[in-house]
Amino acid sequence: MRSMIWNGKLILLFFLLLVTYSCQNNKINEPLKASYAVIPTFQELDTLSGFFILNDAVVYTSNESLLEEINNFLIFSQKNNINVKSTVEPGVKRQITIKLSDENFGNEGYDLFVSKDQIVLTSNAKEGIYRGLTSLKQLALLNYFEGHYFIPLGNYEDHALFEHRGLLLDCSRHFFSKEVLKKYIDLLSFYKMNVLHWHLTEDQAWRIAIDKYPRLSEFAAWRTEPDGSLYGGFYSKEDISEIVAYASEKYIMVIPEIELPGHSQAAIAAYPYLSCTGDSVQVANDWGVFKEIYCAGNDSVFIFLEDVLTEVMELFPSKYIHIGGDEAPKTRWEKCPKCQKRMKKEKLKNEHELQSYFIRRIQTFLSKNGRQLIGWDEILEGGLAKGAVVQSWRGMEGGIEAVKHGNNAIMSPTSHAYFDYDLKAIDLEKVYSFYPVPQGLSTVEASLVIGGECNLWSEHIPDEATLDGKVFPRLLAMSEVLWSDSNGRDYDEFLERVYQHYALLNSMHVNYGLESIPFKFESTLSDSGIEVSIIPKLKNIVIAYSLNGTQFEVYDSALIFSAFEASKIKGFAKRKDKAIGDTMEISLYPHLALNSSIEYIIGEFSPSYTGGSKKALVDGVLGSLDFRDGRWQGFFGEDVECIIDLGSQREDINEIETHFYQYSNSWIFIPKELVVQISDDGISWSDWASVQSEVDPKTRGSFISTFKASGVKKAMRYLKIKVENFGKVPEWHEAAGSDTWIFMDEIVVK
């Protein structure tokens, strides 16, 4: 009997050990550290230790009106093999409760509470519930561990800082498929952006089908490329309805942009009577600003536009319609009898007021149909229509002027928001530093800044891969800038969260680019010459450099060059023995005026093109074929006159060499003439040398022209450099009548 009792005890002990072993081996291991790296970050977060395990939880709600939002979350769960059900089952304790509340969170605000056994998501609006579920999705994906999804415990409170958070996607210059648009709607939604600004008409194409004007899709949607090939496409009404509905499900408002009065050559190519001349033109196959414009004196133009906008409004339920209004050359209007007659009849002082008349007339039509007009900041010229929203792109000034008039403003300045620009000009950190409300506004004026957009113009973005690399990861920064509180922003902390999102972007098939150029050259002037340092901009990289064609070697200290040593430095970066980014170079051209004092008498360089400093023309660093490389000084619509003080009298100078840039698509032309005068005292001047341009202004593409002015060696301390602006854009050019730029990079004294 005793033997049987012992055997029974041994069996029971073995069974208990087996159960213990089995439980230990079936235990779900939790991550060692919770990730709260949601983008955009929460407004408030109180963390707790531990996790809610998302597997086999139950989603339920007592409010049937939220079934669509819950279903969206269930679809996400199924795609990621998360066992979440939509019905309560007996014995299941861990639950997700989603409910509407009377508490005011704002349309997009929500409260998310996570404990070991339950998740409670509360908002007073469906949109807030959707944003909260989006945060839940991100938390799940960021805390995936050993086959399970974990939600870190805590109390999350959130709401949007700005109501308008958008991406402009230009589908006119290059055409993107419905699938790409849906992918980007998903991405905007995932990062809590709420506007897709859809640029549908341009000089290079008309992309939206209009029943009343079939030639817009039959003819204006296609262009003949310089190589003779046909390029184009358009969106049918069925396509647009499908995309708008898809976006609506994800609380994305699609705002169509129908450009007027300029950027309209494609429409004019289809219907020449819309222009001032009635002449036949082709759909543009190059980039830039074109002089063809809707005739403001022709009533049939307004009939056409009202017909078009009527069909557009039938497709787009958004409260806003964007009408462009930017870059509208007035040359055609100045010479058009109909436009001049209109100006006289309406008692308009100039063509800027004629544009204002044009915009107001369209706005009146939109207002009668319950819509609100958005236009680029040029709609301020000639008088701003009451109720129009100004989208400020030429800096923040247009937005400031708009809110001071009592109008709403959307900020998307070229300095921070143009994602088609290279990383040299706008990198992730630059975007993250953006704040759409300028300093100096009153509380009421600040409240009229309704948000911002990142703009993606597609001249040089022909495909989805290029598009992805331009938009990401920079869109992550813009999403946080427009959603979360700007106080206490920490770029390094944000960057750590961005790194965690790369795996998520990979899973969404996003071919994202770099956060920044891998490194930059930084030059410092001294009496002995130029010191060049190579500054890393990315982490964990090795930089190799080559001096004047020598073999590449690892960079470890600054390079110093004498005042008479011309040099070219090339560099590239590696990470884990793999090259990243492009090979970059800097050209140094030391000369006798290096680091001299320089004073501008006529002309003021643009804050967008400073060349790096006031001494950019005597810093020994040459500009490249990229006029946005930060080494060129740009002067718009004016001559340039400056005085260089060499510091002491010299008698050995016989040549002045100056470099100028031309890219006529961007209105940058080689100046007409360079004149050099000399002086001993800076008061009395004598002519020394001059050079006139021999460059054909019709030459396309970007290039650099060198002016060499030679004179007799004379005693001199001061040099006066006079540069004559090219003048107005010529009649043969697409932007005839506009002012032109001078771009210059160095005044080399030999």
Q: Tell me how far apart the alpha carbons of residues 739 and 727 are, in angstroms, rounded to a whole number.
A: 7
Strands 529-536 and 519-526: antiparallel
Residues 639 and 737 in one domain: yes
Q: Is 722 part of a structural domain of the chain?
A: yes
Q: Which of 587, 606, 625 is the last residue of a domain?
A: 587
Q: Tell me how far apart the alpha carbons of residues 16 and 740 are, in angstroms, rounded to a whole number.
A: 87
Which pLDDT belongs to residue 91? 59
Q: Which of 139, 158, 177 is the last residue of a domain?
A: 158
Residues 580 and 702 in one domain: no
Residues 614 and 698 in one domain: yes
Q: Is 537 part of a structural domain of the chain?
A: yes
Does 18 score more than 60 pLDDT? Answer: no
What value does the mean pLDDT take over residues 481-508?
Answer: 94
Q: Who wins on pLDDT, 71 or 306?
A: 306
Confidence of residue 9 (pLDDT cuts 50, 70, 90): very low
Which pLDDT belongs to residue 1? 46
Q: Is 511 part of a structural domain of the chain?
A: no
Confidence of residue 65 (pLDDT cuts 50, 70, 90): confident
Contact 467, 427 (CB under 8 A): no
Contact 704, 623 (CB under 8 A): yes
Confidence of residue 740 (pLDDT cuts 50, 70, 90): very high
Which pLDDT belongs to residue 565? 74
Mean residue pLDDT of the chain comes to 91
- 3-state SS, residue 387: coil
Does 25 score more than 80 pLDDT? Answer: no
Region for 508 from its dihedrals, namely left if φ exceeds 0, alpha if ψ lies in -120 to 50, beta otherwise: alpha
Burial of 330 (0-12, 13-18, 19+ CB in 10 A): buried
Helix axes 491-507, 126-142, angle to 10 degrees: 90
- What percentage of the chain carries pLDDT values higher than 70? 93
pLDDT per position as a tens digit, 202-221: 999 999 999 999 999 999 99
Order the strands of the 559-562 sheet from edge to edge. Answer: 519-526, 529-536, 559-562
Residues 523 and 645 in one domain: no
Q: Tell me how far apart the alpha carbons of residues 502 and 745 are, in angstroms, rounded to a whole number.
A: 39
Which pLDDT belongs to residue 80? 81
What value does the mean pLDDT take over residues 1-6?
Answer: 45
Q: Tell me how far apart the alpha carbons of residues 91 and 735 are, in angstroms, rounded to a whole number.
A: 73
The pair of three-digit structure tokens given for residue 232, joined into one six-digit string: 């184009």
Q: Is 636 part of a structural domain of the chain?
A: yes
The pair of three-digit structure tokens given for residue 516, joined into one six-digit string: 């920044």
Q: Is 525 part of a structural domain of the chain?
A: yes
The pair of three-digit structure tokens given for residue 607, joined into one six-digit string: 């804050």
- 3-state SS, residue 390: strand
Residues 583 and 680 in one domain: no
Residues 596 and 682 in one domain: yes
Does 570 score more than 70 pLDDT? Answer: yes
CATH of the domain at 668: 2.60.120.260
Does 7 score more than 60 pLDDT? Answer: no
Q: Tell me how far apart the alpha carbons of residues 478 and 228 are, in angstroms, rounded to a whole number.
A: 39
Which pLDDT belongs to residue 94? 75
The pair of three-digit structure tokens given for residue 719, joined into one six-digit string: 């040099």
pLDDT per position as a tens digit, 293-303: 999 999 999 99
Does 38 score more than 80 pLDDT? Answer: yes
Q: Which residues on neighbouring strands pair with residue 361, listed in sequence order?
A: none
Which pLDDT belongs to residue 665? 87
Does 35 score more than 60 pLDDT? Answer: yes
Which pLDDT belongs to residue 104? 87
Contact 284, 206 (CB under 8 A): no
Q: Tell me how far apart the alpha carbons of residues 229 and 233 are, in angstroms, rounded to a whole number.
A: 13
Residues 538 and 687 in one domain: no
Residues 595 and 582 in one domain: no
Where b means 16+ CB within 10 Å and e means fewer, 725-735 reads bbebbeeebbb
Contact 508, 187 (CB under 8 A): yes
Q: Tell me how far apart the alpha carbons of residues 331 and 666 are, in angstroms, rounded to a whole number.
A: 17
- What percentage of the chain carries pLDDT values higher than 90? 77
Does 669 score more than 90 pLDDT? Answer: yes
Q: Half-sphere exposure of 677 toward its Cβ, with a 13 Å CA cutoff?
A: 14
Q: Tell me how far apart the alpha carbons of residues 673 and 726 are, in angstroms, rounded to a whole number.
A: 8
Residues 744 and 595 in one domain: yes
Does 2 score more than 80 pLDDT? Answer: no
Residues 687 and 555 in one domain: no
Q: Is 600 part of a structural domain of the chain?
A: yes
Q: Is 189 part of a structural domain of the chain?
A: no
What value does the mean pLDDT take over residues 88-108?
Answer: 79
Which range of residues forms the domain containing residue 724?
591-750
Residues 683 and 559 in one domain: no
DSSP 419-480: TTS-TTTS-HHHHHT--SS-TT--HHHHHTEEEEEEEE--TT--SHHHHHHHHTTHHHHHHH
Q: Is 151 part of a structural domain of the chain?
A: yes
Residues 569 and 650 in one domain: no
Residues 6+ apart with CB under 8 A from 659: 622, 623, 704, 705, 706, 707, 744, 745, 746, 748
What value does the mean pLDDT take over residues 506-528?
Answer: 91
Q: Who wins on pLDDT, 78 or 543?
A: 543
CATH of the domain at 571: 2.60.40
What value does the mean pLDDT take over residues 9-34?
Answer: 54
Q: Tell me how far apart the alpha carbons of residues 274 and 269 are, in angstroms, rounded to a whole number.
A: 9
Q: Tell me how far apart the alpha carbons of residues 489 and 40 are, in angstroms, rounded to a whole number.
A: 12
Which pLDDT belongs to residue 19? 35
Q: Which of 158, 182, 198 is the last residue of a domain?
A: 158
Number of domains observed in the structure of the chain: 3
CATH of the domain at 118: 3.30.379.10
pLDDT per position as a tens digit, 267-298: 999 999 999 999 999 999 998 888 899 999 99
Q: Tell me how far apart the alpha carbons of residues 216 and 269 are, in angstroms, rounded to a whole number.
A: 9
Which pLDDT belongs to residue 51? 94
